[in-house]
């Protein structure tokens, strides 16, 4: 291992802060959903199912979220039990039903979105849009680089 990794040290600090940020975001989601009847995870899946306004399968939603189909299926079943989504036939695949957000689900999403906008405005008030956009772009670039490095490592292992 090299004696000095100045860029690596900076990335390690960014990763540490990212883990802490993730914890803070999960806690904020818990607080935002506290009296809504859904969890932060359920909110995320409900929003992903509603994205684009067209019914989609659980597998499509899971891919979009970077999660397993099974985990999204479990959450979607709970949302269906609470009448926030409903399953529809899928002419392309009889086994993989499409999922549609119900009117009640959309009302809940609107309420949660309003709470989130208020929260985001408060958090963002100390930072310029250009700083936030630059940070988002940096994180995106690093995430993509990690994906490429993972591909290189996997290819070397075969």
80-99: per-residue pLDDT in tens? 999 999 999 999 888 999 99
Q: Residue 115: is it exposed, middle or buried by C-beta count within 10 angstroms (0-12/13-18/19+)?
A: middle
* Confidence at 8, pLDDT banded by 50, 70, 90: confident
- Position 151 scores a pLDDT of 72
Predicted confidence (pLDDT) at residue 155 exceeds the cutoff of 80: no
Q: What does the domain layout of the chain look like in residue ranges?
A: 35-117, 127-158
pLDDT at 94: 86
Q: What is the pLDDT of residue 148?
A: 83
CATH 1.10.30.50 holds for 35-117: no
Distance CA 113, CA 111 (A): 5
């Amino acid at each position: 291992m090299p004696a000095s990794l100045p860029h690596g040290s900076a990335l390690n600090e960014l990763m540490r802060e990212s883990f802490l940020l993730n914890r803070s975001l999960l806690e904020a989601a818990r607080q935002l959903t506290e009296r809504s009847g859904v969890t932060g995870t359920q909110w995320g899946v409900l929003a992903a199912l509603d994205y684009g306004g067209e019914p989609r399968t659980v597998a499509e939603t899971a891919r979009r979220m970077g999660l397993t189909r099974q985990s999204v299926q479990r959450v979607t079943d709970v949302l269906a039990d609470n009448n926030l989504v409903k399953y529809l036939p899928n002419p392309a695949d009889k086994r993989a039903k499409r999922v549609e957000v119900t009117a009640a689900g959309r009302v809940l999403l609107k309420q949660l979105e309003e709470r989130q906008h208020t929260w985001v405005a408060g958090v963002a008030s100390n930072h310029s849009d250009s700083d936030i956009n630059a940070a988002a772009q940096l994180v995106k670039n690093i995430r993509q680089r990690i994906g490429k490095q993972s591909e290189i490592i996997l290819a070397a292992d075969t």
